[in-house]
Structure formats: C-alpha cells, structure tokens
Amino acid sequence: MENKLKLTKPEQGLNGELHVPGDKSISHRAVMFGAVAEGRTTIHNFLMGEDCLSTISCFRKLGADIKLQEDAVIVEGSGWDSLSEPAEILDTGNSGTTTRLMMGVLAGRPFHSVLIGDESIAKRPMKRVTDPLKLFGTAIDGRDGGNFTPLSIRGGSLKAIKYSLPVASAQVKSAILLAGLQAEGVTEITEPQRTRDHTEKMILEFGGEIERQEDTIKLRGGQILSGTDVYVPGDISSAAFFMTAAAIVKGSRVTLKNVGLNETRTGIVEVMRRMGARMEVMEKPASGERIGDIIVETSDLNGIEIGGDLIPTLIDEIPVIALLATQAKGTTIIKDAEELKVKETNRIDAVVQELKKLGANITATDDGMIIEGTNTLQGSDVHSWGDHRIGMTLAVASLITDSPVYLEDADAIKISYPQFFEDLNILVK
Ligand code: SPQ
C-alpha cells in the first residue's frame, strides 16, 4: 500500500462552515492582467495551487515584478512593453489555462519564447489556439504543426481578427482576447456556447472596454489597462466536492462561504437543484464577480439528463457529478461533454474506470456517461490518473464506501486545492 493514501468513511456526517480557496481561473487571470496593466495590482484570496504558481513563475521569467505576501499577491505592472524575452523556457507545469492564455499574451510581444508543460500538457490540443493566433500575424509552431508543446512563439505586430470559435472554450476565447488587446483594430469573437467570462469581467475591472452582443464579443486593441485590487471569490469548482459530499453523506449540513456565483460557472447548482438536493444559495452584494454562501444538506436525489448549453457551465464538475449520480435514484445521462477527453486526462475514461472499481454502475459513452443509481460503493485501490479533479472525486467517494479506499497519486490534488484534506477534516470533526 506504499504511495497510496488510505481514506476511510467518517463516523458521522460532515458539518460546519468552510472557506474554499480562491478561484483558479480568476487567480491566473489576475496575475496576467496585473503584469500587463500600468500600476499596482493587489490580489486578495489568490489560489496558491501549483497551477497558479506556474503562471507566476512564467511571468517572472518575462520580467514581471510579483511579490507573494502572507495575505495577498502584489503585481507591480508597467504595461505590455515591460515584458521582455525570457532567457529560459517557460514551464507551464500541468496548467492548460497557463499554457493557452500565455500563448495569447506572447502572441503580441516582439520576442521569442518557448512554452513547455508536463506529460499531460504535452497531450492537450493547442491547435485551437495556434490557429487563431496565426491569423493575427504571430509566428507560432510546435509538434504536429503547432498542435502540441513544446511551442515556439515569435510575437510581433498583430492585426485584429473576426473569429468564430469551433469549440466552446474559455481558454481559447481568452487567448484571443489577450492577443486582441495588443492588436490594431477591433477583434470580434463568436462563441458556439457561452463559456466562463472571467477574462471579459477582468478587462472591465482593469478599466478596459469590452462589449458583448448575443454570442459575439468585441474588443478594441491598444487599450491601456490600470492596476487594481482584485478580490478572488472561493472556487465553485472546489466547493463542488464539499457540496457533493454534504449531499451524499448521511447527517451532513455544510456551509461554503463566499463562493463565486458567476452564472457561467453555476451549472452544478442547477444540476443539484434539479436532482432534488436540499440546498440554499445566499448571494451577497459584490462589485466585481458575484459571490455568496452555499448551504447543502444530506439529500434524496433523483437521476437527470445533463447536456447542451449547461455543459460549459459545469465542465470541471462532471467527475464529481458522476459520483453524485451514483447516489441518485434512477438514471443520470451526461451528454455533449466530449471536451472531457482533452482535459488533464481523458476524464470520461478516468471517472468511469475508477468509479467502477468502487462498484458504481457507470458506462462511458462517446460524449459523456450513463450512471444507474443507487449504489452502495465499496472500498478499493484507485488512481487519480495525475488529475486533481479525479483525485478529489475519489476522496469524496471514500466518505461513503463500506471499506477503505486506497488512493494512488493523491498529490495531484495540490494542483488546485493544496489544503483539501485539512479542509475535509474541519467538516468531519
Ligand atoms: O487549466 P486547466 O488544466 O485546463 O484546468 C481545468 C480544470 O479542471 O481545472 C480543465 F482541465 O479547467 C479549465 C476549464 O475546463 C479552466 C478554464 C479557464 O480558466 O479558462 C476553462 C475550461 O477549459 P476550456 O478548455 O473549456 O476553456
């Protein structure tokens, strides 16, 4: 059982309050915008997970002045031109967001840089970003015609583009917006489905202008952004693990404080409501991103169908929703989610294979999965596949298995939630 973490069912339910760590998507973007804006940016509740630390490390290699303090991250921005050619390769670690958004930043910088990540990043498709960046006029190449890392970028003067996204992806949209800010003219992007809009919101928070009309976003290049204070809300994708745990572990009542409630991210709330979860969402006044408290109690759940426009609003929560569905009466069908195949792992295969080991009645489909509930889950040896969201899903599953779960590569959880087990312990005591 070496290198495996033994996880056992708690004696009673999960109870109490928790502040989940800062939102990963917003933390990345706050560093990036802080580095290219003029003046000081102070980021409160920054997520100190490995992915966001990769973003900081890449920007430092470009010459950005970023200080980590106990309660904030301070970025002293001096505009786009303050970034300079890195002497070293930029290593984005396991982070798709760092890789793809950096590509947009580097597209307009007049120097050469090389981006590389870990084994998982090396398998994730980048052509979806290199294609539009080439249209702007960037010289960019990589393995397989620019589809895989290492990527080599020589940025330069960019001309605005009109682009219709072939896949619903906030990362691709954001890379185009970051290039668009450096381009001459007005960039227009049309989305096939609405995806998380933290980049658009952050452009406004940094004093920029951006418009949205139905599915099309318009952004003028050459805008000067100003440093600001960013308050990062709790990450709803992290909260989702405790929302699920509270719903499926008997005798639970959990309050998750100050969670981000941006409507492009709250698909999990809609799904849990439709499944019949006992939950309450209490929104609080906020100036930037929406925030509030989410209270979840042990619930009797029913299977539902999940697909269409809802998918981009809960894409990262699907592994834990699959676990939730094992505890719901009837059938849950998750469809239109083929994007899961190109995340940190193929998350359809990973979830199905690992939950099956615990006795779940779950089948993979081409674009999602079908889960038959309700199942009593049993303990087993399982693997995170090096994917933080698979690791946390299996850790939550262990709260209801009739014997211990032995989780291999639990360390992957540190990518987005370094204090996950400490926070879990707060609720099981
Ligand atoms: O950064 P990374 O590795 O791509 O992270 C993931 C995650 O599970 O944390 C996906 F694997 O989240 C993405 C998300 O799936 C973060 C993100 C963003 O911050 O813009 C957008 C989504 O990806 P995409 O490809 O749909 O744009």
**313 Cα to the center of ligand 1, angstroms:** 11
**251 Cα to the center of ligand 1, angstroms:** 33
For range 374-386, the mean pLDDT: 95
Of the three residues 231, 259, 276, the one that is the final residue of a domain is 231
Alpha helices in 1-95 (DSSP H): 24-36, 50-61
pLDDT at 124: 98
Among 67, 63, 60, 62, residue whose Cα is nearest residue 46 = 67
Atom of ligand 1 nearest to the CA of 120: 3
Other Cβ atoms closer than 10 A to 201: 18
CA angle 315, 412, 66 (to 5 degrees): 85
Residue nearest to atom 14 of ligand 1 (CA): 316
CATH number at residue 411: 3.65.10.10
Among 215, 171, 230, residue whose Cα is nearest residue 196 = 171
Separation of CA 144 from chain center: 26
Q: Which domain holds residue 397?
A: 4-22+233-428
Q: Are residues 237 and 183 in the same domain?
A: no
Peptide bond into 255 cis (omega under 30): no
Sign of CA dihedral 383, 313, 237, 403: negative
CA dihedral 345, 358, 323, 126 (to 10 degrees): 0
Amino acid at 227: G
Atom of ligand 1 nearest to the CA of 199: 20
| Coil/strand/helix, residue 275 | helix
Residue nearest to atom 12 of ligand 1 (CA): 316
Q: How far apart are CA 104 and CA 107, in angstroms?
A: 5
Does 316 qualify as catalytic in the annotation?
yes
pTM given for the model: 0.98
Q: Are residues 183 and 283 in the same domain?
A: no
Q: How far apart are CA 277 and CA 418, in angstroms?
A: 28
Atom of ligand 1 nearest to the CA of 416: 9
Q: Are residues 49 and 37 in the same domain?
A: yes
Residue whose CB lies within 8 A of the most ligand 1 atoms, among 26, 33, 97, for a mutation test: 97
Give the residue with greater pLDDT, 374 vs 17: 17
For range 359-377, the mean pLDDT: 96
Q: How far apart are CA 329 and CA 199, in angstroms?
A: 38
Q: How far apart are CA 312 and CA 262, in angstroms?
A: 13
Q: Are residues 14 and 38 in the same domain?
A: no
Q: Are residues 114 and 169 in the same domain?
A: yes
**390 Cα to the center of ligand 1, angstroms:** 14
Q: Are residues 417 and 280 in the same domain?
A: yes
**198 Cα to the center of ligand 1, angstroms:** 12
pLDDT at 3: 76
Q: Are residues 210 and 260 in the same domain?
A: no
Q: Which helix (H) or strand (E) holds 389?
A: helix 388-397
Peptide bond into 374 cis (omega under 30): yes
For range 218-243, the mean pLDDT: 98
Provide the number of structural domains found in the chain.
2
Residue nearest to atom 24 of ligand 1 (CA): 169
pLDDT of 1 > 70? The answer is no
pLDDT, tens only, 261-307: 999 999 999 999 999 999 999 999 998 899 999 999 999 999 999 99
Of the three residues 231, 257, 284, the one that is the final residue of a domain is 231
Q: Are residues 8 and 68 in the same domain?
A: no
Catalytic option among 51, 91, 316, 387: 316
pLDDT of 16 > 80? The answer is yes
pLDDT of 209 > 70? The answer is yes
Of the three residues 207, 231, 255, the one that is the final residue of a domain is 231
Atom of ligand 1 nearest to the CA of 170: 27
* Average pLDDT across the chain, whole number: 97
Q: Are residues 259 and 181 in the same domain?
A: no
Q: Are residues 196 and 240 in the same domain?
A: no
pLDDT of 340 > 60? The answer is yes
Residue nearest to atom 8 of ligand 1 (CA): 316
pLDDT, tens only, 27-59: 999 999 999 999 999 999 999 999 999 999 999
- DSSP letter for 402, please: S
Cβ < 6 A, ligand 1 pocket: 24-25, 51, 95-97, 169-171, 174, 196, 315-316, 339, 343-344, 389, 416
**10 Cα to the center of ligand 1, angstroms:** 31
Atom of ligand 1 nearest to the CA of 343: 11
Q: Are residues 172 and 125 in the same domain?
A: yes
CA angle 202, 204, 208 (to 5 degrees): 115
Q: Are residues 265 and 414 in the same domain?
A: yes
pLDDT at 429: 75
pLDDT of 78 > 90? The answer is yes
